[in-house]
Amino acid sequence: MSKGTSESNDTSEELSNIIPSQPQSKIKNMLEEIELLALHKERGSGIDISSFNESQKDKLLDIMAKNEENAFSFYSKRLETEKDIEIKRLDTSIVNQKTLKIIV
């Protein structure tokens, strides 16, 4: 028994040397995300939440809501950027046409 305990202590010491210290909340969030990914991968295309307790279901709903918000803001910014690029493209074509008229 003591050999197994010493091996786990050695492993945790090795990990602490390899992985830089991170805030506990950040590590906890990463572990939760990994756990959700593992559940998703294990169950196939869907997540079976029948075995979840209420706090896990609430946490899953919070994560899904945050994901929706992030996706919405990402695509909104993406549309704004595409619009700005098109406006700049039109501006440069107008400048090129004016330049050609002046040259000709």
Res. 82 pLDDT band, cuts 50 70 90 = very high
Is the pTM for the entire model greater than 0.85? no
Determine contact, residues 47/39, Cβ cutoff 8 Å.
yes
**pLDDT tens, residue by residue, 14-48:** 555 555 555 677 777 777 787 777 766 655 556 66
* 64 pLDDT more than 60: yes
Mean of the pLDDT values across residues 94-102? 74
- Spans of all domains in the chain: 1-47, 54-104
Task: Write the Ramachandran bin of 47: left for phi over 0, alpha for psi from -120 to 50, otherwise beta.
Answer: beta
Count of other CB atoms within 10 angstroms of residue 63: 14
Supply 27's token pair. Answer: 């590590």
Looking at residue 81, its pLDDT comes to 94
Helices (H) and strands (E) in the chain, counts: 3, 0
Looking at residue 61, its pLDDT comes to 87
Q: Which letter, b or e, does each residue of 15-42 get, where b requires 16 or more Cβ atoms within 10 Å of its Cβ?
A: eeeeeeeeeeeeeeeeeeeeebeebeee
* 1 pLDDT more than 50: no
In three-state secondary structure terms, 23 is coil
Looking at residue 41, its pLDDT comes to 64
